Each structure stands twice: as C-alpha cells, then as structure tokens.
Amino acid sequence: MNINDIIGQGGVVEFLRTAHKQNRIASLYIFHGPPSVGKTTTAISFAAGVNCADNPGIGCGKCKICKKFLEINHPDLIIISPVDSSDPKQIEQHQSDMIEQQRWRINESPQSMIRIIQIRDLQEKLKFHRWSASRRFVVVVDAEKMRVETANAFLKTLEEPPVDTTIILVTSQLNSLLPTIISRAQLVKFNKLKPEQISEILHQKYSISLTQAEQAAKLGNGQLQKSLKFAIDEDLINFRLEIIESYLKKSTADFVKICPVRINQREQMMILLEFMNILNQDCMYIKLGLADKIVNYDFKQRLVDYVKKVDITKLIENNDILEQAYQSLNLFIDPVLIRDHLIGEIYEC
C-alpha cells in the first residue's frame, strides 16, 4: 500500500504529494475531519512515502523503509495515542501492543487520554537526532483527548519542532484543540466517505462480498470502522436481524428482549435507533416506488408486504418519533423510558 491507495481523500493526497514535491513539508499539520475516514492511515502512508527512496513522495510499499513505517515499527515514526493510565509500565505495554496488533487505538474507554508523561517522553526522544530516515514523523492520534496542562506542555515542541521533524495531530474534533495550537498548524481537512467508497475499501481490503459490503457501508453512514463492524461482527449482524424481525412482527415482547436499556449500553441503544431509522426509511422508499434504494435488501419481500398495511403518514410520524428518541438518548434520559415510548408509538399502533 502507498498514499495513492487512500480511498476518498484525493484532495488531501494531492496536497501532501505537492508539498513533498515542492520541498515544502510543514513541521506541524492538523489532520481533521469525521471519525474513521483514514486520517491516521494517511499520516502514516505520507511518512512512508516521504522517506521511501524507490518511489519518493508516494512510497513503493515494498521496500524496508516503507514496510517499517507502514507497520508502525520504524524508530523515526513515533505514534502517540490515548492511554488509560499514566503508569509508565502500562504506557510501554500500550506502545508495544500498537506494533503487535497493528492498530493505534488500543484503549478506547472514556478515561483514555493523552497523558503529560507521554508528551514528556516524546520531548526526550526528540532531543536526539533522528535515526535513519530523511524526515522523522510524530503522529498524535485523537489529539483532542489532551488536558489543557498537557497541551500547554506540548506547546513549545509544536512551536519549534526539531529540524526534519513533522508532527501531525489527528483529530475529529478540531474545535477542542487549543486555538494557539490551531493557529500554528497547517490544517488538512478530510472528507466524509461516500458509501460506495467505503464498500470499495471493505471489498478490496477486507475481502467482504460486494453486496454485503454495500449494505454495511450504508448502515455505517460514512464511517469505515463502523461499517466494517456491521460487516463482520456477528453480534451486530444478529442484532440487526432481531430488530427487523421484531419490527415486522410488531412483537413488543421480542423488542423488550433485545432493546439495550442498561446504563452501559448507550452505544448499543444508539445503534438500535440507527437501525430502526434505516428500516423506516426503507419502508418509505418502498411506499414511494423506490424499492431498489433500500438498505435491508435481504428483507425486501417481507418489507414490501409489510408496507402494504402501513400508511405513509405513519412512516413520516415514525421518523419524528425516532429522531425524538435519539435526542432523548443524547440528553441522557432513562433508556427504559425511551424504549417504552418506542413501544407505545411504533409497536403498539
């Protein structure tokens, strides 16, 4: 793989390649945009491409340097991502887990953040000359997950990185970064991916069948990781099937069984609402004679039969009910109340 293989971010790739060609690589970038659209992957591919001798600026993907960079295992590529604690041993473990598991997000709990000790450690490393690459790269994943004091400790380094070193801050929440940091960086904006681009990635990179990839991409709403989960996570795949079954049968008992109402199940409840929303949209498409647009194509005939019994005004009303449920969940209203509201308004009428 090289930077040209990044899907759906043509403008960004062109911008970075031009910067390299014109020898104008900045010392500080902020890669920002929606979650899970390839920001960190692009940062790493860019680092590999800049240092590759066989295909400079793009990367050959095969040489020793490219491989080591892409496997995040080159001493001149430093990746920092949120950790659960400030314990140096755990941080060390976290760094080796990243290389071993080939992913940069290891801890994704609410308390995971970038710790001041990680920044101090980075500053120590940057005091030394780079190892062997022509340009050293530091990639900070989820850079918004930094306390103000950590960001302030980092500021000096961001203002004046060592020569031949580029720092890339990656974030999906640009406004959560300190304005003093934003003003010093070159901003690079990433786009939301289109469903067809996501299905292409799922198909090519993860060998998922095209029809399944297309469905997962639509369910994932522009987010690659989410779409990938919808394509391969058995629990989620079954969850969708159960929701559709309960919906088509209007079975309150089944819905109560599957509806995630515990306090730690907020994310699943969110997914349930998204699934129901897409299901309702599918019903509307069928009602409007656009059955070829539906996402839950594997239930097409049953949905067609179901829609015959439902009025379009009810489907529009359902749309509002689901939107309201979504907002209630965001306001931390008791999920049991939300569930009972859905039962009363959608299942029992």
- Chain residues in the site for Zn ion (CB under 5 A): 52, 54, 60, 63, 66
Q: Taking the complex as a whole, how short is the minimal distance between the CB of residue 17 and Zn ion, in angstroms?
A: 15
**Cα 340 from chain centroid (whole Å):** 31
Burial of 18 (0-12, 13-18, 19+ CB in 10 A): exposed
Nearer to Zn ion, 67 or 341 (CB): 67
Compute CA distances 181 → 9, 79, 156, 185, 308, whole Å: 24, 19, 10, 7, 57
Instruction: Summarize the chain as % helix, strand, coil (round to 5).
Output: 60, 10, 35
Nearer to Zn ion, 3 or 66 (CB): 66
CB distance 76 to 130 below 8 Å: yes
Nearer to Zn ion, 50 or 338 (CB): 50
Compute CA distances 309 → 248, 252, 283, 302, 314, whole Å: 11, 18, 11, 12, 11
Residue type, 166: T
Count, residues in the chain: 349
Nearer to Zn ion, 54 or 305 (CB): 54
Q: Taking the complex as a whole, how short is the minimal distance between the CB of residue 41 and Zn ion, in angstroms?
A: 16
Q: Taking the complex as a whole, how short is the minimal distance between the CB of residue 26 and Zn ion, in angstroms?
A: 22
**Cα 124 from chain centroid (whole Å):** 31
Nearer to Zn ion, 50 or 271 (CB): 50
Q: Taking the complex as a whole, how short is the minimal distance between the CB of residue 68 and Zn ion, in angstroms?
A: 10
Instruction: Give the CA angle between residues 266, 97, 8 to the nearest 5°.
Output: 65
Q: Taking the complex as a whole, how short is the minimal distance between the CB of residue 67 and Zn ion, in angstroms?
A: 8
Q: Taking the complex as a whole, how short is the minimal distance between the CB of residue 59 and Zn ion, in angstroms?
A: 5
Nearer to Zn ion, 77 or 80 (CB): 77
Nearer to Zn ion, 54 or 311 (CB): 54
Nearer to Zn ion, 52 or 193 (CB): 52
Q: Taking the complex as a whole, how short is the minimal distance between the CB of residue 75 and Zn ion, in angstroms?
A: 17
Q: Taking the complex as a whole, how short is the minimal distance between the CB of residue 56 and Zn ion, in angstroms?
A: 9
Rg (CA), the chain: 23
Long-range pairs, 250-258, Cβ under 8 A, ≥24:
250/347, 250/348, 251/347, 252/343, 252/347, 252/348, 255/339, 255/342, 255/343, 255/347, 256/339, 256/343
